[in-house]
Amino acid sequence: MKKILLALMLAAGTASAEDVLHLYNWNNYIAPETVKNFEKSCKCRVVQDYYGAMEEMLAKLAAGAKGYDVVIPTGFAIPPMVKQNLLQPLDKAKLPNAKNENPAFMNAAFDQGNKYSLPYAFSTTLVGYNDKKIKELGIDPTSWAIIFDPAVLAKIKGKVTVLDDSREVFAAALMYNGFSANSTNPDEWKKAQETIIKAKPFWAAFNGQSYIKELTLGNIWVAHGYSSDMFQANIDAKAAKRAFGVAYGLQKEGNTLSVDNMVVLKTAPRPDLAAKFIDFMLDGKNAAELTNMIGTGTPNAAAAQFVKPEMKQNSAVFPSAEQMKKLQQLTALEGKQLRDLGRLWTQVKTAK
């Protein structure tokens, strides 16, 4: 009998040790409660690793990083992942909740037919700010001038951060100068670079990791970042009973829209758990939880009935039809264009 019990204990222990889903995701992009609910539903454990920029994630996987099951890339990162043979096609038979997706977010140019990806959430890239300080200084936060115009920056020198992400920083500078966020015109890229280099001495740092905390503590007053992060920063400021709030909104020159997607890596140790996770996140209630707790927009039509009314009224999370016209999704850069942007970015980083 003892041998039978020991065998059963070892078997149970082995199953528990193997039932682990490895998720590689953006920072702050899933609620802890959602992770716990999934672990309970699948009787597994979720191990998460995080990145702060698409370049960081792509470079890590291209260098051979393995062990991840599900990754959440922004749309423009999917074509290079497919080209590098990093992804496996989704088994739609295991994803019945895919029917909940809003058709407007399906069949995107970066993955026609959704062979490899299904939409997870969307966010806008914008400016978050200390509402008290910016009001006191009389600065207009609705223009990208707040992070690019030296005359404005002189009032907030050392209190501004921008994302450590070449695509997003160049996209903002391009839109500030009246160009498309996806421009690859060398002259327009040069103009955007000049704008960035002139503004850089006024910035505290390139920061894609900790700007939520820095805003909440009041160490910085203006941050270029994602709408969901600004949502979290405002919640944290309220919880800490700060004398200020973290406000955020779209810029009049236009903003980028990031539609993030769930994909399964070809080297995924547990594609079965990956499918369970994706289907779990496509459930309307779970997708709405992502919006209500993290502050993302949802591409899930079945989630709408569960999204809090105050979230639906937040135009930075759910832009109006008019505002949507000014939002641009970044497209993939490859080859010479990618190398040219990398060279311009290096010059920005090394400029004094």
Residues annotated within a binding site for spermidine: 165-168
Cα–Cα distances (Å) from 136 to 130, 132, 162, in that order, read 10, 6, 22
Q: For the chain, first and last CA: distance in Å?
A: 75
Secondary structure element (H or E) that encloses residue 276, with its range: helix 271-281
- Cα 166 from Cα 55, distance rounded (Å): 8
Burial class (CB in 10 A: 0-12, 13-18, 19+), 343: exposed
For 302-305, the CB contacts below 8 A with 24+ separation are 302/97, 302/100, 303/100
Here the tokens at position 106 are 């399906």
Closest CA to 223 of 240, 247, 201: 247
- Ramachandran class of 114: left when φ > 0, alpha when ψ lies in -120 to 50, beta otherwise: left
Contact present, 295 and 317 (Cβ < 8 Å): yes
Here the tokens at position 162 are 């921008």
Closest CA to 116 of 256, 226, 268: 268
- Cα 299 from Cα 321, distance rounded (Å): 15
Phi, psi of 252 (to 5 degrees): -65, -25
Binding region: 165-168
